[in-house]
Amino acid sequence: MEAKAETRPSRKGIILQEAARLFREKGYRASTLRELARRSGVKGGSIYYHFASKQEILYRIMDETMNNLLQGLEHEIREEQDPVHRLNRGIEFHIRYHLENQDETHVADTELINLGDDHRRRIVGKRAEYERTFSGILEEGTREGVMGVGNTKLASIAVLQMCTGIPYWFNEEGPLSVDEVVAQYIDFVFWGVLGRAGRRESI
Amino acid sequence: MEAKAETRPSRKGIILQEAARLFREKGYRASTLRELARRSGVKGGSIYYHFASKQEILYRIMDETMNNLLQGLEHEIREEQDPVHRLNRGIEFHIRYHLENQDETHVADTELINLGDDHRRRIVGKRAEYERTFSGILEEGTREGVMGVGNTKLASIAVLQMCTGIPYWFNEEGPLSVDEVVAQYIDFVFWGVLGRAGRRESI
DNA sequence: GTCTATAACTAGATAGAC
DNA sequence: GTCTATCTAGTTATAGAC
């Protein structure tokens, strides 16, 4: 029912998009509905025709983001069998989605604290599910002997945490392209700081 | 002049400590000075005898944290020459400091957005300095050939980001000790998910 | 140094016209 | 579906007594 992230012609969609941008710029609590209304091209009261509360707007942004991540990841790794390739594609998807939807993912990653208990539990559940997909890959790879991870749960959290942080410093006009960032991070995740020296295999 | 983090007998110190805890729990914007006063054992107005504004309290927490990190890191790696050992000790210090000062570091890591321009610039400057120490180590190690990092600036950011995130999921009552977390993360940073299989050297 | 009282303001949310 | 107008509550910060 909801349109894709790219083209949201409806007023409701515009408000969500502007809300993500505003919340990212100032933080949820510091953002006012008056400012959101102004940016969305309506007056303050009109927001409440589309949403029951400010809180609901935040939840919609975060929930849609998590759904996109879960479905996108699943779709991306579905056909791959080899754990190394699955991890490779999973990380690439994660980074690209975060760089292509910076406002929404930033909000989803930082505003958990401002959700009510019920909403927060639902988002946390989806995050846990997303993370389990990655730890499952690391587990499988380690069991098969193509990876060597001591604690797969820890490592999967570490991988996601570092990739999630990319939009914080990435600059479109900077020297690095998205492709290069993806390549560097994947390289680092697989090989660590010691690098390829002395390894017998390559990916 | 300021006492150590552990024992802060002065009222001012108590307020700072409670503020870090409160800001971490609810976020800076959602925290009220009335609540902070209550937790600190004083009435609302009394806060202003010690601090000029709510903003100043936030800045003090973040600035003190950055100073501790900078000095602590410097002290920790001063005597080490080998880049591998320097990185090892640097990461261990970073993780331990974050786990031993969770309230303050969490605030320092998440509330940048709520600082005024001037204050924010100063904190960002110190963060950059801290990060440069790590990228410098990676650069040196790569130049010497004991490490193999493609982009040292990227890798240092990645390392810090994943370690900084540890307090988000770490649980004192959980199955993992601080020592184990440190060991796992250092292992992952050095060797990546592919692990030790096929490597000729060890650290 | 800490208190009480309050000023000055701002935000989320609602009601009802159009 | 959007507007104007407003209610209500809560916030930072200040003033002055003790």
Q: How far apart are the CA of B100 and the nearest CA of chain A, in angstroms?
A: 19
Residues of B in contact with A156 (CB under 8 A): none
| Packing angle of the helix pair B178-191, B152-164 (nearest 10 deg) | 160
pLDDT category at B9 given cuts 50, 70, 90 is: confident
Domain boundaries, chain B: 54-191
Of A4-13, A57-66, B188-197, the poorest mean pLDDT is in A4-13
Q: Specify whether the CB–CB gap between B148 and A144 falls below 8 A.
A: no
Instruction: Give contacts of A141 with chain B, Cβ < 8 Å.
Output: 193
What are the respective helix, strand and coil percentages of chain A, to the nearest 5?
70, 0, 30
In this predicted structure, what is the pLDDT of residue B112? 98
What CATH number matches the domain at B54-191, 3.40.50.2300, 1.10.357.10, 1.10.540.10, 2.160.10.10?
A: 1.10.357.10
- Predicted local distance difference test score (pLDDT) of residue A14: 98
Nearest nucleotide relative to A57: CA against C1': C12
Give me the mean pLDDT over the A175-187 stretch.
97
pLDDT tier, B203 (very low <50, low <70, confident <90, very high otherwise): very low
pLDDT in tens, B97-149: 999 999 999 999 999 999 999 999 999 999 999 999 999 999 999 999 999 99
- In angstroms, the separation between the Cα of residue A146 and the nearest Cα of chain B is 7
Q: If you average pLDDT over residues A154-161, what whole number do you get?
A: 98
Nearest by CB: A148 against B169, B176, B195: B195
Q: In sequence order, which ranges of A8-79 are alpha helices (DSSP H)?
A: 11-26, 33-40, 47-50, 54-77
Dig out the tokens for A16 from the structure: 């969500």
- pLDDT bracket for residue A1 (50, 70, 90): low
Nucleotides of C under 7 A from a protein CB: 1-6, 10-16
Tokens of A45: 């009261």
**B191 in A contact zone (CB under 8 Å):** yes
Fold of A55-191: Tetracycline Repressor; domain 2 (1.10.357)
Strand C closer than 7 A to residue B29 Cβ: no
As a whole number of angstroms, the distance between CA A195 and CA B149 comes to 6
* d(C-alpha A2, C-alpha B124), whole Å: 39
pLDDT value, residue A196: 81
Q: Determine the Cα–Cα distance for residues B20 and B51; give it in Å rounded to an integer.
A: 15
Residue A103 to residue A108: CA distance in whole angstroms: 9
User: What tens digit of pLDDT does each residue of B46-99 get?
Assistant: 999 999 999 999 999 999 999 999 999 999 999 999 999 999 999 999 999 999
Percent of chain A exceeding pLDDT 70 equals: 93
Interface list for A 35-94 with B (CB within 8 A): 87
Instruction: Check CB contact under 8 Å for B199 and A196.
Output: no
Given pLDDT bands bounded at 50, 70 and 90, which one contains residue A200? very low
Alpha-carbon torsion angle B147, B150, B156, B159, nearest 10: -80
- pLDDT at residue A187 tops 50: yes
What tokens does A97 get? 């989605």
With CB atoms and an 8 Å threshold, state whether B147 touches A87: no
**Higher per-residue pLDDT: A124 or A5:** A124
What is the percent of chain A where pLDDT is above 90? 91
- Please tell me whether any atom of strand C lies within 7 Å of the Cβ of A53: yes
The Cα–Cα gap between B138 and B132 comes to 10
- The neighbour count for residue B127, using CB atoms within 10 Å, is 18
For the record, the structure tokens of A33 come out as 């509905």
pTM, two decimal places: 0.94
The predicted-structure confidence for A44-74, as pLDDT tens digits, reads as follows 999 999 999 999 999 999 999 999 999 999 9
Tokens read off for A130: 């997303």
pLDDT at residue B170 greater than cutoff 60: yes
**pLDDT tens track for A17-50:** 999 999 999 999 999 999 999 999 999 999 999 9
- Cβ-nearest to A196 among B87, B141, B148: B148
